Amino acid sequence: MTQTAISIEDLHVSYFGNEAIRHVSLNVEPGNLVGIIGPNGAGKSTLLKAMLGLIPRDKGQVKILDKPVKEVRKQIAYVPQRNDIDWDFPITVLDAVLLGTYPRLKRFRRPGKKERQWALECLARVGMDAFSKRQIGELSGGQQQRVFLARALAQQADVFFLDEPFVGVDASSEETIVKILKELGEQGKTVVVVHHDLSKANEYFNQLILLNKELIGFGTVGDVLQSKVIERAYQGQFAFMNGMGV
């Protein structure tokens, strides 16, 4: 019997009665790299937060690895948007990655040598081990994003959620991040990424969730990027895309 990584059934979410997303149902199998795309205000981050069980649902169900989110929290890793973080916080790169070991530590236990070693390995994977003693604000945007990816790796999760990981990130960091996400997919992990635009979507992901309050398209990248489906989501906002061969 194979597990379903993420299954969403008729999900509705609103903020004080203002509808954010409606009628979303989909199933993601393990090993997929899924992009969530859609115009501004389409409810992309809302969908992500609902999957993580961070906001109340009006209706519907979300299951991760066939279980309610509550029961599998330790198998989930989340990478926040870069501007949600206080980069002046007095924390070093290594300590930030060490936070990733916290979910598996027993209560009242501090990370020890083993955890430190593991955090350094995760930092090495994203090519940031030389920066372990820096304060996080001293890094460039791309480096910061790589550190947070290292933190997610340190969580040894099965499902990864990333909110806009490519905003304000240099090309080589972007390449490193994509490479690691693809490796995770090959290891049978599931990766869900909120992505701000359509560019490179076909290179990065193998499945897309196209959202505009409701689910406009879901499936392989090729299927979803058909221009008709895109037009329905963006309703002309992306008319210029027509000439770009997507």
Partner 1 sequence: MEFLEAIMHYEFLQKALLTSIMVGIICGVIGCFIILRGMALMGDAISHAVLPGVAISYMLGINFFFGAVFSGVLTAIAIGFVSQNSRIKHDTSIGIMFTAAFAAGIIVITMLKSSTDLYHILFGNVLAVRSSDMWITLGTGVVVLMAVYLFYKELLVTSFDETMGAAYGLPVRLIHYFLMTLLTMVTVASLQTVGIVLVVAMLITPAATAYLLTDRLSIMIFISAGLGVVSAVVGLYFSFTYNLASGATIVMAATALFILTFLFSPKHGLLWKMIKTRKKRASLI
Query: x/- string (CB under 8 A) for partner 1, residues 127-146?
Result: --------x-----------
CB of 242 to partner 1, least distance (A): 37
User: Which residue in the set 9, 19, 58, 86 belongs to the binding site for partner 1 (CB under 8 A)?
Assistant: 86
Q: How far is CA 84 from CA 77, 81, 87, in A?
A: 16, 5, 9
Question: Tell me, what amino acid is at 158?
Answer: D
Structural contact between residues 210 and 217, judged by C-beta atoms closer than 8 angstroms: yes
**DSSP code per residue over 81-142:** -GGGS-TTSS-BHHHHHHGGGGGGSPTTPPP-HHHHHHHHHHHHHTT-GGGTTSBGGGS-HH
Stretch of 84-92, 188-196, 202-210, 213-221 contacting partner 1, by CB under 8 A? 84-92
User: Which residue in the set 42, 44, 46, 78 belongs to the binding site for partner 1 (CB under 8 A)?
Assistant: 78
User: Which residue in the set 12, 22, 60, 99 belongs to the binding site for partner 1 (CB under 8 A)?
Assistant: 99
CB atoms near residue 90 (< 10 Å): 9
Could you give the angle at which helices 171-186 and 141-154 cross, rounded to 10 degrees? 20
Site for partner 1 in 100-129 (CB under 8 A): 102-103, 105, 108, 110
Question: By C-beta, is 108 or 240 nearer to partner 1?
Answer: 108
Q: How far apart are the C-alpha atoms of 49 and 3, rounded to whole Å?
A: 22
Report if residue 5 touches partner 1, rule: CB under 8 A.
no
CB of 184 to partner 1, least distance (A): 17
Report if residue 67 touches partner 1, rule: CB under 8 A.
no
Question: By C-beta, is 84 or 203 nearer to partner 1?
Answer: 84
The CA-based diameter of the chain, rounded to the nearest angstrom, is: 58
| Cα of 174 vs its chain's centroid, Å | 14
Q: How far is CA 191 from CA 6, 56, 112, 121, in A?
A: 10, 23, 29, 21
Report if residue 84 touches partner 1, rule: CB under 8 A.
yes
Q: Which residues pair with 14 in a beta bridge?
A: 19
CB of 148 to partner 1, least distance (A): 9
Report if residue 243 touches partner 1, rule: CB under 8 A.
no
CB of 155 to partner 1, least distance (A): 7
Structural contact between residues 13 and 21, judged by C-beta atoms closer than 8 angstroms: yes
Report if residue 90 touches partner 1, rule: CB under 8 A.
yes
Q: Which residues bind partner 1 (CB under 8 A)?
A: 52, 54, 70, 73-74, 76-78, 80, 84-86, 89-92, 95-96, 99, 102-103, 105, 108, 110, 135, 155, 161
